[in-house]
Amino acid sequence: MNATGVVMTAAIKNVRRQVRKRNWLKQLRRQERAKIRSQKTAKIQKVGKQMGKVIVIGAGASGMMAAAAASGNNEVLVLEQLPEAGKKILATGNGKCNFTNTNVAESDFHGNSDFAMKVYNRFNNRDTIAFFEKAGIKCRVREGMCYPYSFQAKAVRDALTALLYRKAVTIEYERKVTSVAVKDNGFNVMCGNESYSCDKLIVATGGKAVKSLGSTGFGYDIAKSFGHKIIKVKPGLTRLYIKENIKELKGVRCIASVSANGIDIETGEIIFLEDSVSGIPVMQLSSLFEGRKLYIDFFPDMRKEELKNELLRRTQEISVKTHRILIGLLNEKLAAYIAKDMKLADAAKLAGMLKSFELEVTGTGDFEDCQICTGGVDVSEIYPETMESKLHRGLYFAGEIVDVDGRCGGYNLQWAWSSGYVAGKSS
């Protein structure tokens, strides 16, 4: 072979090498593209498997918490009948929002306290405080009751809506849910003529306490349509109407202990209204009220004997006119009212009356005049671990719609946060 032939052979070899290299690179790229494609498919399949569509009915305390908790793994839509979210939150704690309490015990929940504690232990008061701190609400504590540092309930509502926005949760306002039906493996939710479908449904419509704040009791109809039993719904945390004419006491406030049947004793400031008695201790009692008599102890920090001796001393040193010996001890109007039928001071009788002043209760405030309602969806038909219905898979309940209620002091909102979180996380 001559020199030209050698050069030709080398050139051909070179071309072949380059072709092989190009093919090899092409193959590499093909393999790489196939790998990426299969990774993408796997991801889509994985996401498709996990991502579900959740609808929450009601943008109240429990509904917004449920939506926040559900948002990680789901596409979440909240349907709210009012033009704004959390209208009731704005009214809580006299506009300050007592959103939880540093002390929570089983006795702070009524009736189904055992069920309530199982749910509460999955999202407790410390979780609530940490959740709100993260959402921008610094906690201020007053006698165990937790408020936003600014003492503005609006801050709590706004922090929740802002959090839902960041979590890509959609809230549709002025969407009143009118019916719910089962569709395939999920639900069809109707708002008049508009229809929404979802895999999981969280009913967080609240109870019947204060219609103007969104509580119409509609959620009970949804629950009933799925076969759920509703425990009789009654107004809770409300005033007690009194048979006696107490008009002259209107506006009087005093510290006292109240009891309904000698067992449920609550102490704090009570308020006399024209025909009723209110204040936190009376409201606490109203949720449990079964007896017909209300007993007021105007001197909870004095034993009866001690009070009798003090009244005797006053009779001797100050006056024999019954109501006068009470000056400085009891509100003047109350003293005159209690002592009106007693001509001369009878220390023993008076001490007895002041330690156990009896009033006959004719009824409680109605649904427009209460903070919560008692009763609701029977807890024996709900799993406390998930808040899912035992009667229908994929259906969850949260908040006041459930037959759980708490004392004044942040326990009802805590129930809303705990049950909302558990329902949302499990959906």
Ligand X SMILES: Cc1cc2nc3c(=O)[nH]c(=O)nc-3n(C[C@H](O)[C@H](O)[C@H](O)COP(=O)(O)OP(=O)(O)OC[C@H]3O[C@@H](n4cnc5c(N)ncnc54)[C@H](O)[C@@H]3O)c2cc1C
Binding site for ligand X (CB under 6 A): 57-63, 79-82, 87-88, 91-93, 97-98, 176-177, 204-206, 209-210, 213-216, 218, 371-372, 399-400, 410-413, 416
Select 161 or 261, whichever has its Cβ closest to ligand X: 161
Looking at residue 210, its amino acid is: V
CB of 149 to ligand X, least distance (A): 16
Select 230 or 318, whichever has its Cβ closest to ligand X: 230
d(CA 147, CA 136): 13
Select 219 or 394, whichever has its Cβ closest to ligand X: 219
DSSP H helices in 86-181: 87-91, 113-120, 125-134, 153-166
CB of 401 to ligand X, least distance (A): 6
Task: Give the residue from 227, 207, 254, 242 showing the smallest Cα distance to 368.
Answer: 207
Q: What angle do CA 211, 277, 100 make, to 5 degrees?
A: 60
Select 186 or 207, whichever has its Cβ closest to ligand X: 207
CB of 207 to ligand X, least distance (A): 7
Select 92 or 374, whichever has its Cβ closest to ligand X: 92
CB of 217 to ligand X, least distance (A): 8
Crossing angle for the helix pair 347-355 and 304-317, to the nearest 10 degrees: 130
Task: Give the residue from 319, 237, 313, 320 showing the smallest Cα distance to 278.
Answer: 237
Pairing of strands 170-172, 74-79: parallel
Tokens of 360: 């006959």
Task: Give the residue from 298, 207, 196, 308 showing the smallest Cα distance to 253.
Answer: 298
307: β partners:
none
CB of 377 to ligand X, least distance (A): 11
Select 200 or 355, whichever has its Cβ closest to ligand X: 200
Select 93 or 394, whichever has its Cβ closest to ligand X: 93
d(CA 333, CA 202): 52
CB of 382 to ligand X, least distance (A): 14
HSE-CB at 70 with a 13 A cutoff on CA atoms is: 34
Tokens of 89: 């939150």
CB of 109 to ligand X, least distance (A): 12
Select 115 or 337, whichever has its Cβ closest to ligand X: 115
Asked if residues 408 and 186 have their Cβ atoms less than 8 Å apart, the reply is: no
CB of 194 to ligand X, least distance (A): 12
DSSP H helices in 51-186: 61-70, 87-91, 113-120, 125-134, 153-166
Pairing of strands 170-172, 240-242: unpaired
CB of 34 to ligand X, least distance (A): 48
d(CA 128, CA 112): 21
CB of 83 to ligand X, least distance (A): 10
Select 54 or 59, whichever has its Cβ closest to ligand X: 59
Residue 37: CB atoms within 10 A of its CB come to 10
**Rg of the Cα trace of the chain?**
33
Select 137 or 334, whichever has its Cβ closest to ligand X: 137
Helix (H, G, I), strand (E, B) or coil at 176: coil
Alpha-carbon dihedral of residues 228, 229, 231, 237, nearest 10 degrees? 10
The distance of Cα 303 from the centroid of its chain, to the nearest Å, equals 39
Position with the least CB separation from ligand X:
60
Select 82 or 351, whichever has its Cβ closest to ligand X: 82
CB of 155 to ligand X, least distance (A): 14
